[in-house]
Structure 1
């Protein structure tokens, strides 16, 4: 081993030796690769680490092929983005999943009903967003796969019962899970010494059962407990309060845009839009349609809310906006 590796590299190496699951091994290897100084003396070691990680990732790919059972805790990402729901027992995560999607989770008043991740697709206008229900945090051992699932999500939804006596404890357990998953709320600066694998993603605190809080007293107390830089939103899965607004919040917090294409002389396609990250350009859209089209692209014409006039000609570097209709010319 090179003598100049940082202490955190050695910590990651120790975790690799102690790892018992594929996810734990992948996690440790990724951190070792990120922390290893890159120079001629480490080339062989770096190649070995990458080869080991590649082998583990290939094993995960084989696990999803027909005829093979997917590993526990893995959820195939679908739609415009993936939100993982976490929170204490009986906060209403499963009820929310049922109210917002076509999924049919087991719902009961006793704790820890959910044992495995359960995805559902939430409709918002012309797109769908994936929500994933997970086992409760706090009061029981967190499944080994849960931090990895949270780490890979596009957003995290912390669900709390607004009227619960232990709301602060449930919030604390959820925030501790974020730390373990190496996730920090988007917009929050990284702490000194943070892992190079730490991800910044949108985090929304959802206080459920506002039907029990008609005067807003419980919500006000919850707001005092929630860190001021976290967005808090009130809903009722039972009565439906706030659910339509929540759909918009979850999509817009992902910072995605929806773009339709059209052929010259024809109306815009009536199918699902292309979903791209904010800041995407005409070239990015063309590449999403087909790589060869992006290579041959000359210019585009633009319709919709962000065009200066209908059919505006723009170049490949033009930044697109939500709701644009684009005609690509090669």
Structure 2
């Protein structure tokens, strides 16, 4: 029996098994096996490459990558043409009827790469076609933009979320607060800061045995973690936690009451590509969700340059700013002067570990 058949068999058994206290251990074991088989299915073939001929992978460029997904005819192509100033040629890739269209959104001095990944739906989780490459590209995204049709029901969103979930992409979630370390001796030791409500030592031990782990330390720091969370920790190298923004298109075709209802959903914006409604709000929300910082540089004795910002990730330090300028600067670094929200006074003399804020002005002094 192949891996795909094993996955289907487990999914069928999970669907048939009623969830209750007597079956929770069995269900946990089945979920653990399912995650393990899916991870095996999506791993690159040993000794293989990404595939001969024209590959799928598009080089990551710009200051951030946004993966654009959605069903056909929801307006993805229209959205790309409206918000991107430069686009590469449309290229055909061998993944069913996949067409990948990378585009660049220029905003606040940053270049944001938008990559349309329609092929993540319809077989990607089963490794069909170039499913592995599609998923690998999606997992490198800094934000997933899910384009939905406002004239259709919630089923479209649920299908997309389930497909992404099945390939190890967790939307708008953070990694479970569980410490796990495999050892060579000592058996399985489970401890917690507070008794977990939905997970116990018996479940943990049975799943670890199925993964052929007989010696490990497990510390649960969150009482609300579940079996699924623990399985994600075991498969951490195959799991990606990515923020997701839901964009409902075609709001011009539904009632104002429905537009208001959709707009109030969490992590959601509403728009109409046809009438160009809400596109500015969408772009602002993309920027906010990416949490990028603009840093301006200043030469000694000269005014700061506000024409060309350095774009860095949130929680960045002076060291990250140095790397964006040139990696050799750190070797000659003496100190930095910082003006802006991160400074206690202007200017503040800082070292490499100082955390910068949006629109800070930084002057790097070298030895």
Which position in structure 2 is the counterpart of 1:79? 62
> Which portions of structure 1, spanning 4 or more consecutive aligned residues, are displaced by more than 4 angstroms?
6-16, 140-143
Q: Distance in 1 between matches of 2:257 and 2:358?
A: 34
3-state secondary structure, aligned to 1:129:
strand
TM superposition score normalised by structure 2: 0.64
SS at match of 2:99: coil
DSSP 3-state at the match of 1:120: strand
The one-character-per-residue Cα deviations of 1:241-300 (angstroms, maximum 9, x if unpaired) are 221121121122122212122211123235532222211111221233233321221211
Alignment-derived partner of residue 300 in structure 1: 336
**Taking structure 1 as reference, are residues 212 and 130 closer, same or farther at Cα in structure 2, changes over 3 Å only?**
same
Of 133, 156, 176, the residue aligned with 2:116 is 133
Aligned twin of 2:272? 236
Which residues of 2 match residues 1-330 of structure 1 at below 5 A?
24-26=42-44, 70-72=54-56, 74-102=57-85, 103=87, 115-135=98-118, 140-142=122-124, 144=131, 145-164=133-152, 167-188=153-174, 190=176, 191-194=229-232, 195-197=235-237, 198-213=239-254, 215-218=256-259, 220=261, 230-269=266-305, 272-330=308-366
Q: Distance in 1 between matches of 2:38 and 2:270?
A: 43
- 1:34 alignment counterpart: none
Runs of 5+ unmatched residues, structure 2: 1-28, 91-95, 177-228
Query: Which structure ranks higher in relative contact order (CA pairs < 8 Å, sequence separation ≥ 6)?
Result: 2
- Asked if the contact 1:304/1:323 (under 8 Å) is kept, the reply is yes
Provide closer, same or farther for how the CA distance between residues 202 and 218 of structure 1 changes in structure 2, counting only shifts above 3 A.
Answer: same
Q: Which secondary structure state, in structure 1, belongs to the residue aligned with residue 286 of structure 2?
A: helix
**Structure with more of its chain in strand, by fraction:** 2
Instruction: Work out the CA distance in 2 between the residues paired with 1:137 and 1:207.
Output: 19
Q: CA deviation at 1:14?
A: 9.4
- Give the match's secondary structure for 2:78: helix
Question: Whose Rg is larger?
Answer: 2
Give how far 1:206 is off.
0.9
Aligned residue pairs, count:
271
Q: 1:83 to 1:11 in 2, by over 3 A?
A: closer
5+ unaligned residues in a row in structure 1: which ranges?
1-5, 30-51, 107-112
Equivalent residues of 1:203, 1:231 under 8 A apart:
yes
Once the two structures are superposed, residues 75-125 of structure 1 have per-residue CA deviations (whole angstroms, 9 ceiling, x without a partner) of 21121211111112211111111111133898xxxxxx9722211111212
Deviation digits for residues 203-257 of structure 1 (CA, Å, limit 9, x no counterpart): 111111122235132552686xx6xxx5111111112222112112112212221
Q: Relative to structure 1, is the Cα distance of residues 208 and 105 closer, same or farther in structure 2, using a 3 angstrom cutoff?
A: farther
**What is the TM-score with the length of structure 1 in the denominator?**
0.70
Aligned-partner Cα distance in 1 for 2:174–2:328: 39
Separation in 1, partners of 2:260, 2:143: 22
